[in-house]
Amino acid sequence: MTCTGMNMKSSSTVFREKIQFGKVERCIDMGRRPVHFILSTLFIATIFSIFLLYSPNPLYLISKQGLEQQASSPMQGHKSHQKRESCDLSKGHWVRESRGSFFYTNSSCATIPESKNCFMQGRMDMDFLNWRWKPDQCDLPRFNAKTFLQIVQGKTMAFIGDSVTRNHMESLLCLLSQEEIPEDIYKDSEDRFRTWYFHRSNFTLKVLWTKFLIAGEERMINGTGSSIFDLQLDKVDDGWAKHLPGVDYAIVSAGHWFFRVMYLHEGDNVVGCVYCNEPNVTNRNVDFALQMSFRATFNYINGCKNCSGLVTLLRTFAPAHFENGAWNTGGYCNRTGPFNETEIDLTSSEWQMRNAQVKEIKRARKFGGNQGKRFGVVDVTKAMLMRPDGHPGEHWGNKWKGGLNDCVHWCMPGPVDTWSEIFMAVLRKEAGLSSL
């Protein structure tokens, strides 16, 4: 009797085994040879168990479709992992979402500065909150204050830079305060250096204010500031540098103060000038001065002997959006929605500023790796080029300044909160918690 001729509904149980390798087919009629069946079954079970225990390639139960997919693309899983690893958070677009970037309100965050509290200052439109940044290659996780505080537990974080840097820190402070209310433990007389402490998380958050990161002095004419600055390209501003030891995470940024007349010095020598056009003085672009500032900053960090384990993150330049004039010539920013990618200029001076910063963080990473220093990038420039609607504009309590518009800083809540989402993704990667 052949196997195909057996009656599968008979009282005799049939065990059928097919082995494709060698095309051998054996059939055992259990009704006639029960002893052989039992012995064979035990033998096969033993061999199968040994295979499961010691095989370097464990056996997976997968569907036929899964087998076909693996056969046609054996590196598919590897490529998927590579895609996650190489996801560039800076490349993407804004997508409409009703929940948007609305993480907190006037009532849920008591530390929103009045100058960035756009709704308190009379802004009526709210649609600018209903957009989320969507990277092209992956999804950007929402900010999670509890997870963030777990990552930085027992650490000290310092935001180093100008008032836009502080704007970022103030946004982060509001986001974190939804999980834990910090204590304001230090403020200098000018409110430029400030410290908050999260008791439950044992986390210290600082802001260290500096115009240029490097040493710079404004020229005075008859006791009045001239808006002309002398910058020392080979010396950092000691105001922030002296606070660096003991910091675990430093978020560094600068840029907006560089759009001024500046004489550039190395030691006692003038090596260039921005917006000067003087004979016998090398004319330099703004991005050159900015790049040299970041080079000096990162050189100082790499050379800091009391900064073991420091993680330094560059937050790239966030552009202003003045239209029909500059800040002091009637420029304004009254848009209510984002630009799309075709409406921004990636050859602009703002983009060149970003490129100068990124060049220096790459250089710093190369030289700092051997010293245990780590460097990362929170790249927000392209995303923020698309958000002319995110500034306070006239809604910042500006009556005492003659009605000038603020198209440099960012409303809270608003697109600025996305910076902390990108920041957290970078921070998770540094902590080994994510492949983004």
Length reported for the chain: 436
pLDDT at 347 (0 to 100): 93
Q: Which of 163, 349, 434, 435 is catalytic?
A: 163
Query: Residues 239-262: pLDDT tens digits?
Result: 999 999 999 999 999 999 999 999
Computed over every residue of the chain, the mean pLDDT equals 84
From the candidates 395, 409, 417, 420, which is the catalytic residue? 409
128-164 per-position pLDDT tens digit: 999 999 999 999 999 999 999 999 999 999 999 999 9
Q: Identify the bridge partners of residue 96 per DSSP, sorted by sequence position.
A: 131
More confident residue, 4 or 321: 321
Query: Which DSSP string do the residues of 22-34 spell out, in sequence order?
Result: TTEEEEEETTT-H
- To the query of whether residue 163 is one of the catalytic residues in this protein, the response is yes
Confidence at residue 107, expressed as pLDDT on a 0 to 100 scale: 84
pLDDT, tens digit, for every residue of 265-303? 999 999 999 999 899 999 999 999 999 999 999 999 999
Give residue 7's pLDDT.
Answer: 40
Token look-up 């560059």 returns: 314
Q: What is the average pLDDT across 193-213?
A: 98
156-161/249-252 β-pairing: parallel
Half-sphere exposure of 166 (CA within 13 A, CB side): 20
Per-residue confidence at 369, pLDDT binned at 50, 70, 90? Answer: confident
* 53 vs 427, more confident: 427
- 9-23, 169-183, 323-337: least confident range: 9-23
What is the structure's pLDDT at 92?
Answer: 96
Question: What integer pLDDT is reported at residue 33 of this predicted model?
Answer: 46
At 164 the three-state DSSP class reads: helix
Whether the per-residue pLDDT at 399 is higher than 70: the answer is no
Q: How many Å apart are CA 386 and CA 393, to the nearest integer? A: 16
Q: What pLDDT is attached to residue 98?
A: 78
pLDDT score of 360? 98
Query: What Cα–Cα distance (Å) separates residue 201 from each residue in 2, 60, 182?
Result: 74, 43, 10
In this predicted structure, which of 37-46, 291-300, 312-321, 425-434 has the lowest mean pLDDT? Answer: 37-46
What pLDDT, in 10s, does the model give residues 154-178? 999 999 999 999 999 999 999 999 9
The C-alpha atoms of residue 403 and residue 172 are separated, in whole angstroms, by: 29
Give residue 398's pLDDT.
79
pLDDT tier at 400, thresholds 50, 70, 90: low
CB distance 317 to 253 below 8 Å: yes
**In the sheet where 311-315 sits, what is the strand order?**
183-187, 193-198, 203-209, 156-161, 249-252, 311-315, 374-378
Predicted pLDDT at 12: 38
Output the pLDDT for position 81: 42
pLDDT digits over 92-102, tens only?
A: 999 998 775 67
pLDDT of residue 62: 33
Phi/psi of residue 93, each to 5°? Answer: -155, 165
36 is a catalytic site residue:
no
Burial class (CB in 10 A: 0-12, 13-18, 19+), 23: exposed
73: Cα separation from own chain's centroid:
32
pLDDT for the residue numbered 11: 38
| pLDDT, greater one: 40 or 245 | 245
Q: Is residue 84's pLDDT more than 50?
A: no
Whether this prediction's pTM lies above 0.85 is answered by: no
pLDDT reported for residue 101: 60
Terminal alpha carbon distance of the chain: 62
